[in-house]
Each structure stands twice: as structure tokens, then as C-alpha cells.
Amino acid sequence: MSTARNPQSLKPGAVIQLACSGIVICLLLAVLLRATPAGAAVESNADMPKLFRAGFLQSVFTNIDPKDARVVLELYCQNIADELQFNVDYKVVMFDSLELMVDAVRQGALELVSIPSIEYLNIRKTIPLIPAFVGTNGTSQGKDYVIITRKDSGIHSFSDLRDKSMMLPSVTTYEPAHLWLEVMLLKAGKGARDVFFSQVKEAPKMTKAIMAVFFRQADAAIVTGAGLEISQQLNPQLAVQLTVLAESPNLGDFVTCMNPNTSERFRDKLSKALVRLNESKSGQQLYLIFQTKGIIPFKPEYMEGLEGLLHERDRLTVKTISKK
């Protein structure tokens, strides 16, 4: 699925359903008008790849119209290609499954991949990848999740949620949120979520979960801290009426990996290009669309929070089964 160097415009009326509904239009204008940085010479590098290919999982973008997601990803890769500062084309590849992405990596068909952190932990020992960057919430790596309720709901603790209705984000996009809830239920000895809560639903959009609690259509919801912050900025009444009942540790969001079969010089150029884009205004706008605040260099310890949660889930599950 090759792309042209000039991204296609969004069709009239197509709007990414996020809290900031006008961001995509502003982003398109900003990137289309974006000039090459002063003094950035275009190099002729015969040993550099002629095509820069980046892979993404389609399931990650369930909260965004697929066509709009592709437009944003094309803009993202166009910016990376520009920041590489040598003549290179780009290609966005969307995969329907992790298995298909893994096959492409093994065949050397990708220079860059962006993988949800849980998926990265599952495959890191089986395929050749160099983890380079992780998502950040602005103060640390990863995403933080919160359980929100109305201040006048009478819910003051996790135990108070028994027989209440709960809204969750999409498991395909926000699997760590579901893992966090599962561990909380196991720790508290509350049993399966469908038994503990009167009703559990997945919200198609983060904003819908927030507004469902605000309008008393759900007793509680798990949302990202960043999503709640953006919504409160747009609607200050949310800060007045809603409260945070519990907050997760920072959990891995996504891992950006490079192909070890590319040259070290290319990987160095790619790393620097990603950093420059991360620090640019257009890059910040791109990451905002996906409710993250950018990327920071990968460190193994950044996976510890998520790994710890996975180990705790497995330990508590075995303990629960042994008691039966």
C-alpha cells in the first residue's frame, strides 16, 4: 500500500472523533505549509534506503475513522522522511493482525514499527527488533488510566462499585486498562468483572465514556488521564462534577522499534529524525491526535510497570484457582 508524497485531504465532513475535533484540519494546514528547516541540506546517500516503510496495527486505531487514521499516519511518515534529510520516499503499511506484522518484520519489509507495549512484550524474544522509543504522557513514559465517577454518586471506594455500571475503553486499543481492572478485582477478591459490576460496556470513544458518567448513563468509567484532561479543558464543568476514584501506575503505551537489518548509520539518522519531529510543533500535534504527548528514548525499565501487572495477574489467577 504505497503512498504519494503529498497526503490526501480529508473528505468533506470527515472528522476524527476526539475531544479536539478541529485538530486534524489544523494539522493538515500546518504540515502542508511546513517548510524545510533553515540550513537543512538534502544529502545524497547512496547507501541509504530509497524507501522508508513504517508498519502499524489497524486495531490500535479503533477510536478513529480508518481513513482519517491513514491520513494522519501518512503525515507522520512524510514528516519523518523530511527530517531524515536525504532523498527517500515513504510507505505506510497497516496490518490487520500482529501475526502479519511479525511476518513483514521477519522478511525485512519494514524499517520502523509501532507496537502496543503488551504486544511488544509478547514478541520481543521471537523476532529481531531494536526498541528505540516509547510513548510518554508528558511527565513519564506510558499512559496512566483513571476510574472516574460523579462527585455526588456516593461512590468513594473501589468496593462501592459493586453492582454499579462500568464503561471501559476498547480492549484492542487500551488493553492495559483492562489488565489493570482485572488485577484490581483479583486483589480485592471481587471475582469476575461481569459478576462484580451490574453492567460492563466498552465505549467506542473515550469522550463518550466520560460524558456517559457526566450524564449519569454510567456509574463509573475507566479513561486515560490525558483524555480526561483534554475533556476538562474543553468543558470545565467536567472538573466540577467528576472525581477520580483510582489511578493506575504509568503503563506502557507503545514501543517504536527499528529493524536491526538496516545499517547503523541509517538507524542513527532515523533516531535523530524522530527526535526532531517529536520536538516540532507539527509532531506535537500529531501525537496529540493519538492522545499521547510524544516519545522518549526506550529504556528496559519502562516496561517494568506493565510486566509487573502481567506477573501479578498471573500470580493472583493461580492463587484464586488453587482456592477453589
Identify whether 11 is part of a domain: no
Residues in the chain: 324
39 and 73: one domain? yes
Domain boundary among 202, 231, 248: 248
What is the per-residue pLDDT for 6?
44
Backbone angles phi, psi at 106, to 5 degrees: -65, -30
164 to 148, 192, 216, 218: CA distances (angstroms): 13, 14, 11, 8
**Cβ neighbours of 40 (radius 10 Å):** 12
**Number of helices (H), then strands (E), in the chain:** 12, 11
What is the per-residue pLDDT for 39?
46
Number of domains in the chain: 2
155 and 286: one domain? no
Question: Whole domain around residue 208: which residue ranges?
Answer: 145-248
134 and 32: one domain? yes
Give me the chain's average pLDDT, please.
Answer: 83
- C-beta pairs of 267-272 under 8 Å, 24+ apart in sequence: 267/130, 267/132, 269/48, 269/84, 269/85, 269/86, 270/52, 270/80, 270/84, 270/111, 270/112, 270/132, 271/132, 272/83
More confident residue, 318 or 137: 318
Q: pLDDT tens-digit profile of 235-277?
A: 999 999 999 999 998 888 889 999 999 999 999 999 999 999 8
Tell the residue number behind the cell numbers 528514548, with chain if given: 297
Cβ contact 86:42 at 8 Å:
yes
149 and 125: one domain? no
What's the rounded Cα separation, in Å, for the pair 187 and 162? 15
CATH assignment of the domain containing 28: 3.40.190.10
41 and 134: one domain? yes
Q: pLDDT tens-digit profile of 2-50?
A: 343 444 443 433 333 433 334 443 344 344 334 444 444 444 566 688 9
What is the per-residue pLDDT for 140?
64
What's the rounded Cα separation, in Å, for the pair 56 and 78? 15
Q: pLDDT tens-digit profile of 83-141?
A: 998 889 999 999 999 999 999 999 999 999 999 999 999 899 888 899 999 988 766 66
What's the rounded Cα separation, in Å, for the pair 248 and 274? 28
pLDDT-derived band at 62, boundaries 50, 70, 90? low
> Could you tell me the sign of the dihedral formed by the alpha carbons of 84, 90, 94, 97, in that order?
negative
- For residue 222, the surrounding DSSP H or E stretch is strand 220-224
Res 160 pLDDT > 60: yes
What is the per-residue pLDDT for 114?
93
Q: pLDDT tens-digit profile of 266-306?
A: 999 999 999 998 888 888 887 877 767 789 999 999 998 89
More confident residue, 180 or 68: 180
What mean pLDDT is predicted for residues 171-195?
91
User: Which runs of consecutive H residues, i.e. helices, occur in the chain?
Assistant: 23-32, 66-84, 98-106, 117-123, 175-187, 193-196, 206-214, 225-234, 237-241, 264-279, 281-289, 304-323
Domain boundary among 231, 248, 265: 248
170 and 233: one domain? yes
Q: What's the burial of 17, exposed, middle or buried (CB within 10 Å: 0-12/13-18/19+)?
A: middle
Angle at 321 between CA 317 and CA 322, to 5 degrees: 115
What is the per-residue pLDDT for 324?
61
**Cβ neighbours of 285 (radius 10 Å):** 19
128 and 150: one domain? no
257 to 117, 138, 262: CA distances (angstroms): 11, 20, 12
129 and 259: one domain? yes
269 and 166: one domain? no
Q: Which of 119, 87, 84, 88 is nearest to 105 (CA)?
A: 119
Which of 22-31, 73-82, 138-147 is predicted most confidently?
Answer: 73-82
219 and 272: one domain? no
- DSSP for 194-205 reads HHHSSEEEE-SS
Domain boundary among 226, 248, 270: 248
41 and 81: one domain? yes
Q: pTM score, two decimals?
A: 0.75
